[in-house]
């Protein structure tokens, strides 16, 4: 062989090897690469040659077809076998509902087989994904049979996507929805998106921004929506739309949008009928009303219940729902912003239609790195209450910082409201207990976009995964979710799984430390919310930082006790007593509820100022430790993924230092105390940090 031919052969081989190893993140956690030959895998392979789908409905639908396709592709990729999928009829199992499943190892004709059982085709699809996930996870301590059913019926991704394809608070490229070429061109990415959602049990997608545009409800655009719905339908993902309350004026030719006006109600009934003629499984509307400039029923002297019920009546004949957001507040400097939603909605308990769910953020402010749970979850037993989480990291480093959010969400889900009694956790309230509400809903503001890896930061895929797993089963631990995602995405080598799981599980707390420890909140840069601006004191009071931290020479924090705003009274007496006393208030919420002295002695024995400073330093130190850990994994991680994450961790360390230095220099002007030993001296003076101005940040289309 000539030298030239030999060189070409070697280059070809190296190229093929690089291509085989290169991982651009597109496959997410659905990687059906061949498993190593083990005794367990050989047993799985024997059973995988025949899979029986047992359904009480007996239906043969597109969803059933998606389950069959997934099983055949997955078994071929993981185990190298051709799978024969057959159907059988079975008795209904009430405890499984419409979406639950069982997966077991059995025998058919003397040969091993996998059996997936469900009442309906949707359960078969979820069972198929669960079967493949269990095989892929390769966990000796688990195994079959599997039995699972969701506690929350509507598990939805909210896309804050605009019709011009910008994404508000989106950090992974443009919107997935290619409106200009719809309905004629259906991107293959829609199917892949729906498949990823279905693998987690996510069964709904709100396509458009809560800051809604009436245009999407016009006939031309509804045909585009219908095309997307058709692509998502085989995976059981129903389409929803954000509805602009003033649409009857803007596209309907009416002179009012008053919800009690018969002409307005008639217009909405006709519009919903038009939508359902195009999209038979249309899920309903998400509404942001009388909030941050959005129109709503209060513009006509009507209540939120009046507005929600009018839309609910239009949707009821088709099984649709209204998700009415509780994120409302006025520019009222005299009233604690964190109290306003409770004050506005609590008196309306029991006045909403059965197909209305009040969608409430996890905390009373705005998706901060740490907040107490929203008091409305313990205040409206006669109303269906949905939980709104933010998967996209608006306040947690956006597209550049590692922040695994399962621990944040678990804090909320596991919080006990004590209403009507102990054990009334937020998770139980959202599931419909203890009030007995049948409509249950959980929504996550999506972190997806057109970036090849879907989420911008490769490790941010773990948050999409975590939302789906917790939406299906709120009792799953953060550690289990992290372990699953790492194994499914980066492989089962313990040299990788153990250190990466430690990074994930510690990341949210590290971000809290370097952005706002001890319950500090609301100190983010104006508009884009990337970086610190604790000195912000211009504009609407509740859009400034000084409104929230209230630092002075005595101390720092927002007094929400009876001597302050009184916000603690919105919680149960048990919580009010616990959190109302600085001695028993969890230190992680101290500055949320109390104005504490700089010299206060903390549990560590240090002063509040020293503890405050050392928490900032701890956040920086954690990121540095991750960089060392990640660097050590280079031989074990796909090069493309390793380089990408490594570069982002370098940015995160730089930003963490920026947060620490800018924040401590500013707050030091009040405390007048030196930085304690162990805290690094700032790289610049305060004037330098105050001069930083960022523009045209991703996820902030206005550029402000």
- Check which CATH number belongs to the domain holding 446 and give it: 3.20.20.80
H or E segment to which residue 596 belongs: strand 596-597
Burial class of residue 573 in the structure, from the number of CB atoms within 10 Å of its CB (0-12 exposed, 13-18 middle, 19+ buried): exposed
Q: What is the pLDDT of residue 19?
A: 38
Helices 121-137 and 188-200 pack at an angle, to 10 degrees, of 80
* 64 noted as active-site residue: no
Written as six digits, the tokens of 636 are: 């074990």
- pLDDT under 70 in the chain at which residues? 1-21, 140-142
490 located within any domain: no
**CA proximity to 417, closest of 562, 569, 574:** 574
* 371 noted as active-site residue: no
- In this structure, the strands spanning 146-148 and 154-158 are unpaired
The total number of structural domains in the chain stands at: 3
**Are 368 and 343 part of one and the same domain?**
yes
569 located within any domain: no
504 located within any domain: no
Phi, psi of 307 (to 5 degrees): -70, -45
Given 148, 169, 193, which residue is the final one in a domain?
Answer: 148
**Are 388 and 527 part of one and the same domain?**
no
Residue partners of 388: CB distance under 8 A and separation at least 6? 158, 325, 327, 359, 360, 361, 362, 443, 444, 445
Cα(113)–Cα(129) distance, rounded to whole angstroms? 16
Phi, psi of 623 (to 5 degrees): -65, -40
**Are 142 and 254 part of one and the same domain?**
no
Share of the chain above pLDDT 70, in %: 96
**Are 175 and 139 part of one and the same domain?**
no
Given 132, 148, 164, which residue is the final one in a domain?
Answer: 148
Phi, psi of 277 (to 5 degrees): -65, -30
Residue 558 · residue 549 · CB < 8 Å: yes
Count of C-beta atoms within a 10 Å radius of residue 654: 12
Cα(601)–Cα(587) distance, rounded to whole angstroms? 11
Name the residue with tokens 């990337």: 530
Residue 213 gets which letter from DSSP?
-
* 640 noted as active-site residue: no
User: In the beta sheet, which residues pair with residue 104?
Assistant: 115
Written as six digits, the tokens of 700 are: 């902030």
Cα(159)–Cα(179) distance, rounded to whole angstroms? 14
The dihedral through the CA atoms of 443, 468, 24, 75 has a sign that is negative
**Are 192 and 296 part of one and the same domain?**
yes
Helix (H, G, I), strand (E, B) or coil at 118: strand
Cα(559)–Cα(550) distance, rounded to whole angstroms? 9
| 3-class DSSP string for 52-68 | EEEECCCCCCHHHHHHH
Q: What is the number of alpha carbons within 13 Å of residue 272 lying toward its C-beta?
A: 27
Written as six digits, the tokens of 25 are: 């993140």
Q: What is the pLDDT of residue 670?
A: 98
588 located within any domain: no
**Are 349 and 389 part of one and the same domain?**
yes
**CA proximity to 240, closest of 207, 271, 273:** 207
Residue partners of 461: CB distance under 8 A and separation at least 6? 25, 28, 29, 453, 454, 455, 485, 489
568 located within any domain: no
Count of C-beta atoms within a 10 Å radius of residue 452: 11
Tens digit of each residue's pLDDT (9 = 90 or more) over 583-642: 999 999 999 999 999 999 999 999 999 999 999 999 999 999 999 999 999 999 999 999
User: In the beta sheet, which residues pair with residue 239?
Assistant: 205
Residue 272 · residue 321 · CB < 8 Å: no
- Domain of 517: which CATH number? 3.90.1330.10
Name the residue with tokens 């829609």: 190
H or E segment to which residue 6 belongs: helix 3-21
**Are 99 and 167 part of one and the same domain?**
no
First to last CA, the chain: 64
Cis peptide before 145 (omega within 30 of 0): yes
* CA-based R_g, the chain, Å: 26
Could you give the residue ranges of the DSSP H alpha helices within 442-572?
Answer: 461-472, 478-490, 494-515, 546-549
**Are 266 and 291 part of one and the same domain?**
yes
444 located within any domain: yes
Tens digit of each residue's pLDDT (9 = 90 or more) over 154-170: 999 999 999 999 999 99
Which residue of the set 23, 161, 394, 542 is catalytic?
394
**Are 280 and 382 part of one and the same domain?**
yes
Tens digit of each residue's pLDDT (9 = 90 or more) over 369-396: 999 999 999 999 999 999 999 999 999 9
- Domain of 134: which CATH number? 3.30.379.10
Cα(444)–Cα(429) distance, rounded to whole angstroms? 17
Cα(128)–Cα(151) distance, rounded to whole angstroms? 19
Domain of 88, in residue numbers: 26-148
Residue 260 · residue 228 · CB < 8 Å: no
Phi, psi of 404 (to 5 degrees): -80, 120
Helix (H, G, I), strand (E, B) or coil at 492: coil
**Are 430 and 525 part of one and the same domain?**
no
Given 116, 148, 180, which residue is the final one in a domain?
Answer: 148
Name the residue with tokens 């061949």: 34
Residue partners of 605: CB distance under 8 A and separation at least 6? none
What CA dihedral angle connects 324, 327, 329 and 333, to 10 degrees? Answer: 170
Which residue of the set 70, 158, 344, 366 is catalytic?
366
Q: What is the pLDDT of residue 15?
A: 41
Residue partners of 419: CB distance under 8 A and separation at least 6? 378, 379, 381, 572
Count of C-beta atoms within a 10 Å radius of residue 432: 18
Strand ranges inside 149-283, DSSP E: 154-158, 204-206, 238-242
Count of C-beta atoms within a 10 Å radius of residue 84: 13
DSSP string, 193-207: HHHHHHHHT--EEE-
Per-residue exposure over 499-527, b if at least 16 CB sit within 10 Å of its own CB, e if not: bbbebbbbbbbbbbbbbbbbbbbbbbbee
563 located within any domain: no
Length of the chain counted residue by residue: 704
Residue 638 · residue 21 · CB < 8 Å: yes
Count of C-beta atoms within a 10 Å radius of residue 680: 14
Burial class of residue 300 in the structure, from the number of CB atoms within 10 Å of its CB (0-12 exposed, 13-18 middle, 19+ buried): middle
Residue partners of 694: CB distance under 8 A and separation at least 6? 525, 528, 530, 531
507 located within any domain: no
Which residue of the set 88, 292, 414, 643 is catalytic?
292
**Are 343 and 450 part of one and the same domain?**
yes
**Are 165 and 124 part of one and the same domain?**
no
């Amino acid at each position: 062989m000539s030298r030239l031919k030999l060189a070409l052969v070697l280059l070809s081989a190296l190229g093929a090897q690089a291509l085989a190893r290169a991982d651009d993140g597109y496959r997410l956690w659905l990687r059906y690469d061949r498993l190593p030959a083990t005794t367990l895998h050989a047993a799985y392979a024997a059973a995988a040659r025949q899979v029986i789908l047992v359904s009480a409905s007996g239906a043969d639908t597109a969803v059933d077809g998606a389950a069959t396709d997934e099983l055949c592709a997955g078994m071929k990729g993981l185990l190298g076998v051709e799978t024969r999928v057959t159907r059988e009829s079975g008795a209904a199992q009430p405890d499984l509902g419409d979406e639950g499943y069982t997966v077991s190892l059995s025998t058919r004709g003397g040969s091993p087989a996998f059996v997936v059982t469900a009442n309906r085709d949707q359960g078969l699809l979820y069972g198929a994904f669960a079967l493949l996930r269990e095989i892929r996870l390769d966990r000796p301590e688990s195994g079959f049979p599997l039995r699972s059913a969701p506690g929350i019926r509507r598990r939805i991704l909210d896309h804050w996507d605009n019709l011009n394809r910008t994404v508000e608070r989106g950090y992974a490229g443009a919107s997935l929805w290619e409106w200009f070429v719809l309905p004629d061109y259906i991107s293959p990415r829609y199917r892949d998106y729906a498949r990823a959602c279905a693998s987690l049990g996510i069964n709904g997608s709100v396509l458009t921004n809560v800051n809604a545009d009436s245009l999407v409800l016009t006939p031309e655009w509804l045909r585009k929506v219908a095309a997307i719905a058709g692509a998502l339908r085989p995976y059981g993902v129903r389409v929803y739309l954000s509805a602009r309350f003033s649409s009857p004026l803007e596209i309907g030719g009416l002179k009012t949008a008053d919800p009690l006006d018969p002409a307005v109600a008639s217009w909405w009934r006709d519009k919903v009928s038009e939508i359902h003629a195009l999209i038979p499984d249309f899920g309903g509307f998400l509404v942001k009303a009388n909030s941050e400039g959005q129109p709503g029923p209060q513009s006509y002297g009507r209540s939120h219940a009046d507005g929600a019920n009018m839309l609910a009546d239009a949707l009821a004949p088709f099984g649709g729902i209204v998700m009415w957001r509780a994120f409302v507040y006025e520019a009222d400097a005299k009233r604690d912003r964190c109290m306003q939603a409770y004050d506005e909605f609590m008196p309306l308990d029991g006045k909403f239609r059965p197909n209305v769910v009040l969608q409430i953020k996890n905390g009373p402010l705005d998706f901060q790195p740490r907040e107490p749970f929203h008091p409305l979850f313990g205040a409206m037993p006669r109303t269906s209450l949905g939980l709104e989480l933010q998967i996209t990291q608006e306040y947690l480093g956006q597209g550049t910082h590692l922040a695994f959010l399962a621990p944040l969400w678990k804090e909320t889900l596991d919080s006990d409201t004590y209403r009507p009694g102990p054990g009334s956790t937020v998770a139980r309230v959202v599931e419909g207990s203890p009030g007995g509400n049948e409509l249950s809903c959980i929504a996550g503001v999506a972190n997806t976009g057109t970036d090849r890896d879907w989420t911008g930061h490769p490790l941010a895929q773990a948050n999409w995964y975590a939302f789906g797993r917790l939406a299906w089963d709120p009792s799953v631990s953060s550690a289990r979710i992290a372990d699953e995602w790492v194994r499914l995405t980066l492989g089962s080598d313990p040299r990788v799984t153990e250190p990466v799981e430690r990074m994930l599980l510690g990341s949210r707390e590290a971000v809290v430390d370097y952005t706002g420890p001890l319950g500090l909140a609301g100190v983010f840069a104006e508009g884009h919310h990337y970086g610190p601006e604790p000195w912000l004191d211009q504009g609407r009071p509740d859009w400034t930082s000084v409104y929230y931290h209230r630092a002075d020479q005595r101390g720092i924090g927002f007094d929400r006790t009876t001597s302050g705003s009184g916000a603690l009274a919105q919680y149960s007496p048990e919580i009010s007593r616990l959190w109302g006393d600085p001695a028993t208030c969890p230190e992680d919420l101290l500055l949320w509820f109390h104005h504490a002295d700089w010299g206060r002695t903390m549990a560590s024995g240090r002063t509040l100022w020293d503890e405050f400073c050392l928490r900032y330093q701890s956040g920086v130190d954690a990121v540095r430790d991750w960089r060392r850990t990640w660097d050590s994994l280079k031989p074990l991680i796909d090069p493309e993924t390793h380089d990408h994450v490594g570069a982002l961790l370098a940015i995160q360390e730089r930003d963490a230092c920026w947060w620490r230095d800018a924040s401590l220099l500013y707050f030091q002007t009040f405390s007048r105390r030196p930085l304690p030993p162990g805290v690094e001296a700032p790289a610049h003076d305060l004037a330098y940090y105050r001069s930083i101005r960022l523009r045209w940040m991703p996820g902030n289309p206005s550029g402000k």
